[in-house]
Amino acid sequence: MRSHSFVTFLLLALLPALSLADDGRRPVGAPFATRSVVYAPQGMAATSHPLATQIAIDILRQGGSAVDAAIAANAALGLMEPTGSGIGGDLFAIVWDPRTQSLKGLNASGRSPKSLSLEYFTSRGLERIPPRGPLPVSVPGAVDGWFQLHGRFGRLPMARLLAPSIAYARDGFPVTPVIARLWKINTEALREFPGFAETFLPGGRPPEAGERFTNPRLAATYEKIARGGRDAFYKGDIARSIAAYMKAQGGFLSYEDLASHSSEWVEPVSTRYRGYDVWELPPNGQGIVALQMLNILEGYDLRAMGSGSADYLHLLAEAKKLAFEDRARWYADPQFVSLPVARLLSKEYAAERRALIDPKRAARAYPAGDMPPGPNDTIYLTVADRDGMMVSLIQSNYRGMGSGMTPGDLGFILHDRGENFSLKAGHPNVFQPGKRPFHTIIPAFMTRDGEPVMSFGVMGGDMQPQGHVQVVVNMVDFGMDLQEAGDAPRLRHEGSSQPTDEVMTDGGYLVVENGFAPAVIDELRRRGHVVKVAEGDFGGYQAIRRTPAGWAGASESRKDGQAAGY
């Protein structure tokens, strides 16, 4: 991690068995923690950008709900962190409703163009949908997601929620370091797409850290949405501009696709893990991967193994491999296929899958589970208000800044989520017109005995369910606090089957952040794992936890973010 010194690394290497309770001798408990947990009595916001967090807090102070504050923060991130978000992408959310004492889930992901067919791809010899350009673009669902959330849980007018971002878009804001680095990386792939440079490369180059960036085009788009509501985006001039641009680029996304779009309220799904209920949204997202992994890991005494041990990390990697094979085989849009969610989340099924793990040897391949017949770059934020409402919200363009398609003078990029469709006939996730693609972005929530405990999320493509599991295990099994659970060094397994791939056959490889003991890495290699040390960080975590005195918040060091309360 950027904040880790060489001294910290040596401490972790020499002290593999750490006491994670705050012993009073450090400002924060574990040596890897980058800051203290934030506490506040009335409200809390945690986002990946300090200015977005402050906007959320301002909205809460004005009497806005947690949903109001989350929308305002998301709008700000679409401006300030275009490397991971924007209104050209999709959105998912889980809301704790204090009035009904229950969770509500929103799937605000868009569908594929109705005029595009599987035959279009196969007749051109394509085995996968290209990651950029016009072909992977599906309907952007974020704006409809805002209005669905606002209509059910909002208090302040949308114009007030968008006003701070409109002002920053016109007057400018200093670009933060992590975003500046990612902006430069994205520019290399997207520079040549029409409209991109005019909006995102002032002076012909990406802005550097500390430089002021303005986006008057996005300011004008936000103003249209503030005045005209969601129809201004999906049925007005914005929709017509998107459709005309896409047609000129050889794309298929049409005005009709936008005008017919709607989000869907869904029931979150959960599993019980050592007395806690961990909640995710059902497919077309990958949230149940995390629940499947937790079900498998529940059969082991992880606490006795220790947080940095080879035994724990080996089991974590093998559980991930097993769950990802099911992900590749079964996860898809439930409006098009019948999905065996209950079977995938059952404890009996977890026991069957757990039996395949050799505790001393890494598997080179796992099959997807048998089912009975039957019918990369993202932002995560969380907000809580004085009435007890909590919002877990995630939003993304995919692949950083998305497809590169930057329509006219609208000030944002369209996402490329359609890349995740399979082109294999008969696969549940095969491309079909009007279908939602497999999704990686997932918000999470935790309850206990019917009471809210924590809203949390971890950004980063395939890392997200792996990160969810590591956060839960860090807190429940290893006793870490809210901040430590996110700051702890992470492991990521790469190489499991993707939703468009065949079964993994080479075992993949592990990527580890600095902070794991060298002896542990050596032991993982002896068990057959290929282990690489990460060149940078992965993930990006925010969380809010309910406390007897109010709220606790955390935002880890892998992003530019901030947790703050009032």
Per DSSP, the residues of 94-138 read: EEEETTTTEEEEEEE-----TT--HHHHHTTT-SS--SSSSTT--
Strand-pair partners of 466: none
pLDDT-derived band at 343 (thresholds 50, 70, 90) equals very high
**Polymer length in residues for the chain:** 566
Those residues whose C-beta lies under 8 Å from the C-beta of residue 338, and which sit 6 or more positions away, are 374, 375
Instruction: Tell me phi and psi for residue 266, to 5 degrees.
Output: -130, 160
**pLDDT on residue 499:** 76
Cα–Cα distance, 473 to 493 (Å, whole number): 17
* Class of residue 125 by CB neighbours under 10 A (exposed 0-12, middle 13-18, buried 19+): exposed
* Tens-digit pLDDT profile for residues 111-163: 999 999 999 999 999 999 999 999 999 999 999 999 999 999 999 999 999 99
- Please name the residue ranges forming H helices in 268-378: 287-297, 302-305, 310-330, 341-344, 347-354
Question: DSSP character for 202?
Answer: G
Residue 16 burial (CB count, 10 A): 16
Q: What's the confidence (pLDDT) of residue 504?
A: 61
Measure the CA angle with vertex 414, ends 126 and 187; round to 5°: 85
Query: CB neighbours (10 Å) of residue 188?
Result: 8
Distance CA 116, CA 35 (A): 49
Looking at the DSSP assignment, which residues form a beta bridge with residue 36?
none
Q: Alpha-carbon distance 79 to 166, whole Å?
A: 9
Active site residue 378: yes
Q: Strand 550-555 vs strand 562-565: parallel, antiparallel, or unpaired?
A: unpaired
Look at residue 502 and tell me whether its pLDDT is greater than 80.
no
Active-site position among 378, 382, 440, 500: 378
pLDDT of residue 22: 34
3-class DSSP state for residue 409? coil
Residues 6+ apart with CB under 8 A from 47: 53, 56, 73, 77, 379, 381, 382, 542, 555, 561, 562
Q: Cβ contacts of residue 156 below 8 Å, gap of 6+?
A: 59, 62, 63, 64, 65, 68
Q: All domains of the chain, ordered by start, with CATH? A: 6-29+294-375+455-547 (1.10.246.130), 44-265+378-420 (no CATH)
Among 293, 297, 291, CA closest to 277: 291
* pLDDT single digits (tens) 346-398: 999 999 999 999 999 999 888 887 665 433 468 999 999 999 999 999 999 98
pLDDT score, position 81: 97
pLDDT digits (tens, 9 = 90+) for 503-528: 566 889 999 999 999 999 999 999 99
pLDDT score, position 365 = 86
Q: What percent of the chain has pLDDT over 90?
A: 83
pLDDT for the residue numbered 503: 58
Q: Please give the C-alpha separations between residue 3 and each of 392, 472, 537, in angstroms, as whole numbers.
A: 26, 23, 10
As a whole number of angstroms, the distance between CA 255 and CA 113 comes to: 10
- From its phi and psi, is residue 399 left (phi > 0), alpha (psi between -120 and 50) or beta? left
Q: What is the pLDDT of residues 467-500, one digit of tens each?
A: 999 999 999 999 999 999 999 999 999 988 877 6
pLDDT value, residue 51: 98
Regarding beta strands 531-533 and 509-512, do their DSSP bridges make them parallel or antiparallel, or are they unpaired? parallel
DSSP-derived letter for residue 204 is G
What's the mean per-residue pLDDT of the chain?
91
- Cα 317 to chain center, whole Å? 20
Q: Does position 18 have pLDDT exceeding 60, yes or no?
A: no
Q: Which amino acid makes up residue 361?
A: R
